[in-house]
Structure 1
């Protein structure tokens, strides 16, 4: 089942329709569905699909030669064109292979996909320059749509999209494939209601490969028990496997994520918890940010380095590191049922940050509609010290538009009782810490609102109430 990706497919189809040379860079973290997207787009279109392998240049050149041979033999009368691959010529270098591909696209519109492009670049460090020269020679008279796809975020952003890359200026489009949002997860798991779909979104981070492990014919509890914390299931060792696949020194990265999951958020605190130098820890954090696992934040509308905090961006990692290490003894001793019961008792606490993400998605999706008081240009989380209470205060979401001091303040509550006036009064009090000229308030609630605040909102145009039941 193919779900969502309408924006990405529209962008790819627009490039295909140009009928001229196109170079599209498709990138995103592992398991996010890049190859599935490309295959969906290219269904029934003439394509040479080459998936680079983590090996030497000779093996990659052999694989590319076979991909070209498979394409050229597919139009023959041979009912089994693949059997001729054993005798297909191996190109002597990538220059000659690329010349052959561009020649095939001289008269006919066709696509050439290089999947896992960073593996190819690692095998031959000159491939960026070779590709650049081939593009420069043929782009004006070629009908080729070249798609470079890769999972190494830092490589794709610096070595392919970056200013110093030989390929800089040759791409005609770039598509960063993100995890699914809550609305698309609803489509992926159609048997689930709103609440179960939201929890499924939270425990998978909207990653398609992880969502495929979720059975929406079973309860959330059973999915956690059998598809996340069972020692034999795919997702149980996924964080460890991903760190080993992407990073050197995975044990050090594991320690950093565990420290943040346990409450450390400042660089010095994280480094101390992991017994590291701050400079080393900073480098490791930057790599985790590149992978989309960690997020670096400052309070909304502020850019003070001393207020910088680090949070776990990937909610699957957030779930796993919150629950699996503390329950590991139970799980490994055959008491996974007891561990599941412990997890379910605090799942609403875990969902607090997930619900904030869902509410942020809702705001951007409803932007420039009557659901919002103004067009939002920027939004984020805010925290800071209150001189009145002499304590740290937080606002889940602050958003602004063209008028810088006209702000929207949002409170997001994932709990089992309705929201009342107390939450609105608290939000109003906290909003004063940002000294707005005009304020609007929006409260999001999993379980609705009591009569008093509902009647108040009906009379106060600055207050909007959003029931989770209406959000998806």
Structure 2
């Protein structure tokens, strides 16, 4: 069953319905669902879909032409091409009046083994394909390559595309559609440990318990996600150990370049380069305190990929137990009791998404155009933070929020903590609403004393309603 991606499908359909030649570039991290999106889109169309192989250009031309013939002109099955230009001429001659979709997936595999490919591909587009009623879709998982070699103005293909789709992880609402039988807390955990990545979401079977799914995927030597970070890092980078140690340092609490460099015993220049690459592929992100972005002292790096975040928090400490097939014991003794702690940051991300989307929909006290986290000195000169800050850049208004993914209800101390942080963010923003997000609800005191005019009390169920 195909889930979500309504916007992306709409872009593809609208482009397809345009007359003449069209071209779309689709890119995003591995396992994100690019191939599934393409195959779903072309299933009722005249189309040819080829996934490039990690082999020579000649071998790819043979395989690509065989796939094209099988899809479009099956009566010519057995004909083979080894020459790229000859194949493109054949494609041009085979595509008549009816719109034809030609999809090339994992284009970096070909372009990286033959530097002439992109220029020759450009020549074929300009002289042959652009004169036909063809919809060309090219896709790739190597984000850095796609941005530098396909999308940048230095690329031979620059100016040929009509649009591009950067495929991102599912949000928590679409992720929930993969496990409809789970309760909302379980759905949130599934989103947290998968990061909304399509492939990982399909691994969770809601006919069995969440515990069993986590054990089977992460805490068994045969589990799909047990070695996943290493597998992905090896596909992206040559020196896996360096990247692994930097991620471990971030997981351990180091969030500034100099702190990470101290932990991994590397120069800040080397660490900065590694962080830049990990940011490009979406493992890490550079985070600034909202409304104080120009303050370089308030720049942190954090793991933003949910699967990496979960893996590096729990798997390294349990490797010996897992390798001895005692991962279930380790999970039940240690991991299960710490899931709420792990979910703290995930829940904050979910609440920020809620504030941004509901603000843009006009359902809050101001139209939130940006959302983030604030940290700095409190009024008492003690370091503090605000979990959720939604700001309206146009109206100069702000929403502040506090999030708790805990078994206890939010009570008077937590309520007053947020109220005591009034005025800490940039004072050009008028604070118009305060929002409390709680897994377990609110105490009688909070319900009775909350300012109904300015304060909203929301549970996890409200986020999913």
2:347 maps to 1:355? yes
Q: Which residue of 2 aligns with 1:308?
A: 299
Q: Which residue of 2 aligns with 1:445?
A: 438
2:240 maps to 1:246? no
Q: Which residue of 2 aligns with 1:66?
A: 66
Does the 8 A contact of 1:106 with 1:141 survive in 2?
no
Q: Secondary structure at the match of 1:381?
A: strand
How far apart are 1:176 and its partner, in Å?
1.1
Aligned counterpart in structure 1 of residue 119 of structure 2, from 115, 129, 141: 129
Runs of 4+ in structure 1 over 4 Å off? none
Mapping 1:97-116, distance limit 5 Å = 97-116=87-106
Does the 8 A contact of 1:256 with 1:270 survive in 2?
yes
Further displaced range: 423-432 or 213-222: 423-432
Instruction: Give structure 2 stretches of 5+ with no counterpart.
Output: none
Does the 8 A contact of 1:199 with 1:351 survive in 2?
yes
Q: Which residue of 2 aligns with 1:118?
A: 108
Does the 8 A contact of 1:400 with 1:407 survive in 2?
yes
Q: Which residue of 2 aligns with 1:154?
A: 144
Q: Secondary structure at the match of 1:175?
A: strand
Q: Structure 2 vs 1, CA of residues 326 and 103 (structure 1 numbering), >3 Å: closer, same or farther?
A: same
How far apart are 1:165 and its partner, in Å?
1.4
Q: Which residue of 2 aligns with 1:215?
A: 205
- Residues 400-426 of structure 1, C-alpha deviations (whole Å, 9 max, x = no match): 114464111111111112223432321
Aligned residues: 460
Tell me how far apart the structure 2 counterparts of residues 378 and 20 of structure 1 sit (CA, whole Å).
Answer: 39
Does the 8 A contact of 2:366 with 2:398 survive in 1?
no
How far apart are 1:435 and its partner, in Å?
4.0
TM-score (norm 1): 0.93
Q: Secondary structure at the match of 1:188?
A: coil
2:280 maps to 1:290? yes
How far apart are 1:6 and its partner, in Å?
0.6
Mapping 1:403-418, distance limit 5 Å = 403=394, 405-418=396-409
Tell me how far apart the structure 1 counterparts of residues 303 and 66 of structure 2 sit (CA, whole Å).
Answer: 42
How far apart are 1:180 and its partner, in Å?
1.4
Does the 8 A contact of 1:106 with 1:144 survive in 2?
no
Further displaced range: 136-145 or 63-72: 136-145
- Residues 54-111 of structure 1, C-alpha deviations (whole Å, 9 max, x = no match): 111111111122122213433x4xxxx7xx33xx13142x223223223333422010
Q: Secondary structure at the match of 2:360?
A: coil
Q: Which residue of 1 aligns with 2:167?
A: 177
Instruction: Give structure 1 stretches of 5+ with no counterpart.
Output: none
How far apart are 1:303 and its partner, in Å?
2.7
Tell me how far apart the structure 2 counterparts of residues 471 and 399 of structure 1 sit (CA, whole Å).
Answer: 16
Aligned counterpart in structure 1 of residue 217 of structure 2, from 223, 227, 236: 227
Tell me how far apart the structure 2 counterparts of residues 306 and 395 of structure 1 sit (CA, whole Å).
Answer: 17
Tell me how far apart the structure 2 counterparts of residues 446 and 126 of structure 1 sit (CA, whole Å).
Answer: 56
